Amino acid sequence: MVTALGHIALRTKDIEETARFYREVMGFPEAFRMHDDNGNTTTIYMYVSRSQFLELFPGGNTPDVHTPETIGYCHVCFEVDSLEEAYRTLKERGASIDREPKTGFSKCLQFWTHDPDGNSIEIMQLPPESLQAQANARLAK
Report DSSP letters for 44-74, one per residue. EEEEEETTEEEEEES---SPP---TT-SS--
The predicted pLDDT at position 2 comes to: 86
pLDDT surpasses 80 at 55 = yes
CATH superfamily of 74-141: 2,3-Dihydroxybiphenyl 1,2-Dioxygenase, domain 1 (3.10.180.10)
pLDDT tens per residue, range 74-112: 899 999 999 999 999 999 999 999 999 999 999 999 999
**1-61 against 74-141: fold identical:** yes
pLDDT surpasses 80 at 115 = yes
The architecture CATH gives domain 1-61: Roll (3.10)
Q: What pTM did the predictor assign?
A: 0.91
pLDDT band at 65, cuts 50/70/90? low
More confident call, 62 vs 88: 88
The predicted pLDDT at position 3 comes to: 80
Provide the terminal-to-terminal Cα distance of the chain, rounded to the nearest Å.
13
How far is 5 from 108, CA to CA, in rounded Å?
20
Each domain of the chain, given as residue ranges in start order, spans 1-61, 74-141
The predicted pLDDT at position 64 comes to: 65
